Amino acid sequence: MKFRLLVLIMPLIMPFFLSAQTYEVSGAVKDRNNEAVGYANVLLLQVTDSVVVHGASTDDQGRFVISNVQPKTYFLKASYIGSTSNLIAVDVKENVAIGTIVIEDSSFDLDGVEVTAKNPTVVRKSDRLVFNVENTIASLGNSWDVLRKTPGVIMVNDQLKIRNQTPTIYLNNRKVQLTNAEIKNLLEGVSGSNIKSVEVIMNPPASYDAEGGPILNITTSKNLSPGYKGSVNGDYIQAIFPKYSFGTSHYFKTEKVSVFANYTISPRKEYKDNNGYINFIENDAVFSKWQSTFNRTTRSAAQNANLILDYDIDDRNSLNITTNLAVSPNKTYDNISENLISNAQNMLDSTFISSGKLNIDQANLGIDLNYVHQFKKDGTSLSLNAHHTAYELDQNQFVSSDYFDSSNNFMRNFSFLTNSNQNIKIYTGQADYVDAFGDLSLEGGGKFSNINSRSGLDYFNVMGNSQTKNQALSDIYDYDETVFAGYVSMTQDWDKFSLKLGLRGEQTHVEGNSLSVVEINVQDYFELFPSLYLLYSPSDNHSYSLNYGRKLSRPKYQDLNPFLYFLNENVFNQGNPNLRPNFSHNFNFNYTLKGTYFLDLYYRDNGNLISTLNFQDNQSQTVREVRQNVLGSISYGMDLTYIKSITNNWFLMAITSLFHEEETFLAIESGNIPVTNEVEGVFLLLQNNFTLSKDGTFTGELGLNYLSKFLLGSYVISETTNLTFGLRKTLWNNRAAISLSSEDILGRANGTVASKYLNQDNAYLPRPETQFIRFGFTYNFGNFGLKERKRTIDKIERDRLETN
């Protein structure tokens, strides 16, 4: 039956309750001087993932009582304005009097409300790695900087990568429906101080979509003080051209309502050049050599607006509305390329110069509505989510090429223009139910999604003032995708073990219709996606974890679009309406020693991966880049991470990765011969953070990363090295901050991109403005300090419990 999985798991995700006797946990909180600490937070956390399940505040005498506690083993922790106690294991089988909990010295000066940033920590959980950055030196920058510094994340051609996969970005467990460029613009305008932690989920569990690879889930902090606070920030970047960005964030909180609003605008003028070559081959010999110099100047003023509204209906029900608008009006690309064509004897045969202009208007609106109900039973909740995305893209391109002979005499002109547009509508609905029975937790849910896309391209040949539409290169493409999904998951905790099992099923129906060629591609399939996570912690110093998951990658609707996008008449990109989804098997083994050394071994069978392939037609002397299912692909490697405070003022994160990547694809311009492209690579990262003043207000960082080689479909990217440096100073009791940073100091952050196999030989060196100096400024205003102790702590307690 078409939706048989949903029918099977519906009984498992219906709310149900079991009654159980509850107990009290009581005690007192004192500081190291044996003085009572009033209005401190006392939290009970799950042993497996440190999620808060219960809590209370101490009274004036430092005493606390936590009531209605289910029988189970917990961690107990006390905290007060940035200072915390050690974790205490509590086995609740009856009423427990814990005695005195001691909080260590605070790093806060309460009179001046001055915070000294501490060092970030990394916590290994059964299904993810958690990079805790709140109030640490890792958060001293914008949110994009925080992601770049997250363990396991590397930058390749200005794109985030995790083990050669592009991660999906989530914000507070909600998928961010923005393009990569829009996500980058959004996060560059949001202060890193808003981030509590970044979760690196290499192998996402069943509650996440089966589609996609690793996930970066950003968990944000909340405005803790009732009232209003805000900030303004700006960046000035000096590269080849100067660039600017300005942003402002505002928080407002009452007893029931919390509002966050952010706006960023980034006027930019950017430069990029490519120097490349193409060797056209016949009978194993080069008969024509093309050398090209390509320059691009981009002008844009991307804008992002974000609004988050939380409303607490009562103690058990809450609503959330999240909206994001990203617009990029009148973005222009001015391109010019000079091409020298030589014969086999390296004698100049001819030249041509191409100039082009591309205008883009882009808008992306996303709206989320969320409802959460917390049942009376601890650990039991129901979450509902509805989402809508409206995306519009209009672009116009004009390209003109003048051809000259070897004596520089004009031969001919070739010109064309294109008008294209794309409209995408996304609708999703999701329900999730969680229930707990002692050490056993059950979770289940369902999701519906629909994506509808219409793309149009009109291609015109241009001769003088005359334009003639080329019907063969014009098209309208409709794409519709509907997915029904359901999942069930269980987690069982023992003394030293934790086991998590999940199963997700997805029914997918896809229709792609190219009106020009009257071709309809239909895909209809049902697939199961099991997942398993096992964590073993024999002591506080050692932990081992093993996980497995089956994942899915669907073709992007842009990739299915059969349009041709031309750089000139000889070089173009082409869509592929015959792409099929691919399925992968992912295995990971992890070992953690003393929270300082992290060893990760992984193996991934990528199946018929959808990859970027380059093909040169030696007869017609054209080069096209296409997306195609490969015949097979595997990845495996080892990551070793070392995280340590070397001294009180020096924090070091060092990562060494050894990896193997290979893809086997059909060389369609080389007699349809299977070709295997593979790379043995090394990635090295040294990230140093320094506290340069006694009060912690002056900090610095020095980073170095090295990547030996990288595989991208039929391409191999050569080695890259990036040396970075930064300084940051906070002023006026943390009311303001200034920063100075420099990227790509050595000028070696860009590698050559080459495609060489059989009768294929072409390469280019892209050089965007990776070498720059950035000056930043942030000013905070409003109630950014913690002044009303009791009221503030009460809100911290309530917000943390509701968040979890």
pLDDT tens digits, one per residue of 454-506: 988 899 999 988 999 998 888 888 999 999 999 999 988 888 888 999 999 99
207 versus 712: the higher-pLDDT residue is: 712
Give the per-residue pLDDT at 795: 20
Residues 6+ apart with CB under 8 A from 644: 596, 651, 652
- Please compute Rg for the chain using Cα positions: 28
Banded model confidence at residue 148, pLDDT cuts 50, 70, 90: confident
* Main-chain dihedrals φ then ψ at residue 179, nearest 5 degrees: -70, 165
Can you give the pLDDT at residue 382?
93
More confident site: 748 or 179: 748
CA–CA gap between residue 628 and residue 307 (Å, rounded): 38
pLDDT score at 297 = 96
Give, for 333, the enclosing helix (H) or strand (E): strand 317-343
| Mean pLDDT to the nearest integer, 722-726 | 93
Evaluate if residue 435 carries a pLDDT over 50.
Answer: yes
Q: What is the per-residue pLDDT across 679-705, written as a single tens digit (0 to 9) for each?
A: 999 999 998 989 898 888 898 999 999
* Confidence grade of residue 80 (pLDDT, cut at 50, 70, 90): low
Q: Which residues contact 722 (CB under 8 A, 6 or more apart)?
A: 155, 703, 704, 705, 743, 744, 746, 748, 749, 770
Average pLDDT over every residue of 581-593? 92
- Using DSSP bridges, classify how beta strands 129-132 and 195-201 pair: parallel, antiparallel or unpaired: antiparallel
| C-beta neighbour count of 790 within 10 angstroms | 12
Task: Decide: 653 and 685 in contact? Cβ < 8 Å.
Answer: yes
Query: Cα-Cα-Cα-Cα dihedral of 550, 555, 556, 562, to 10°?
Result: 170
Across the range 153-167, mean pLDDT stands at 70
Nearest to 614 by CA among 476, 717, 503: 717
Of 115-124, 149-158, 362-371, the one with minimum mean pLDDT is 115-124
- Is residue 3 predicted with pLDDT exceeding 50? no
pTM of the entire predicted model: 0.74
Locate tokens 């098209």: which residue?
475
Residue among 111, 148, 155 nearest 133 (CA):
148
pLDDT score at 396 = 93
Which residues have a Cβ under 8 Å from the Cβ of 642 and sit 6 or more positions away?
596, 597, 598, 652, 653, 654, 655
Q: What is the mean pLDDT of the chain?
A: 83
Q: 625 and 633 in contact (C-beta within 8 Å)?
A: no
Reported as a pLDDT band with limits 50, 70 and 90, residue 386 is very high
pLDDT at 797 over 50: no
Segment (H or E) for 743: strand 736-743
